[in-house]
Chain A
Amino acid sequence: MPLLEIRNLVVRYGEIEALRGVTFSVEEGQVVTLLGANGAGKSTTLRAISGLAKPTSGDILFDGKSIAGLGPEAIVRMGISHVPEGRRVFPGLTVKENIMLGASNRRASTSEISREADAMFDLFPDIRKFTNALGWTLSGGQLQMVAVARGLMAKPRLLLLDEPSLGLAPVIVQAVFKIISEIRRNTTVLLVEQNARMGLSVADYGYVLETGRIVLGGKPDELWGNEAIRAAYLGGHAKASA
């Protein structure tokens, strides 16, 4: 049984049909990447999984149980942590506080959470010296580290990462993806990326979304091998954003 199974998912925003019947699955222990152009429905898929967007029809199964239509607070308690587009680090809280709040989905004492947050800096040494800096003072790459660290504090079984490379300098992108390859030892990851080259470099499996539908799925080398797909979705974007 896959850890996450999306069946015929349709999401509408008013008149606009953002997802038109998306079906795919994520096996436990895998890194799966969703690729596609802007507006293809990648972020909407993640938002539906984490409960921010209500599915119009279709189903989302997590560990065999339907979670479609549940609220985000309930879903994160089940073990799905969503690091959304734009990092969304709380600007008026410190780095440490931001990371500590990542554990809000589970019962633990403040001192325990504080210790876990300190341990998180071992995985993200670059932000250790900003422990007590307010969120708004950080750069994009630092914010991304904080956002991922905060997402991991939930101790998720499934981590949803939305565009972690967006707006970052290439060297920072490398650092972020190095962390993703560390995370995957313990956590299943569903990664949304416009930077197809980076996405496929860490993934076990990839899907290509186009205007609200999955048009292709395969292992990274299969997707790279497909000339037409490479030209349309992968190569161009890889060059444009890498």
Chain B
Amino acid sequence: MFKKFNLQETMSGQNSVKSSVVRGIRSKLLDQFPGLEPCMDDILPKKANLIQIKCKDHITLYAVDGEVMFFQHFNDPITPTLRLLHQYPEILPQVKVDRGAIKFVLSGANIMCPGLTSPGAHLPEENIPEGAIVAVMAEGKEHALAIGLTKMSTDDIKSINKGNGIDLIQYLSDPLWKTRID
């Protein structure tokens, strides 16, 4: 989604959000990511000055204190950014790719099933349904490599083991990662 992204060019306006809207966003986030509950006040304090940045192609970024925390595409679920995920790794279900795949993911490739089922990779025991947002970890690494959207459920990934398993949303060193707001 953010393979080609330039904030200066795509930004159509930014404004700070009303506190009532912030409340709405908070509750939406808590619905989506129950793991966020204990740290919600750290991420999005009640009094925080949340800035909403609208970009082209229906992309909305949410920033607190100059850090992009979440983004949203049209009416899709609000997604945390990689930086936030690094700080709170538990908020998303995790899948792990093998070492051979890291290079390709870092240049923005979608993740194919074999990269998720090979010996170095790991899929959680319980099934993750299709269309869920997952953190993509990497073999032998501690931090998340990318954030993706599952194209099929993890059970299917295991059984079919072919084709596109996860669509990449954000990956390390993509333009959004490098974006700074001041």
Partners in one complex: no
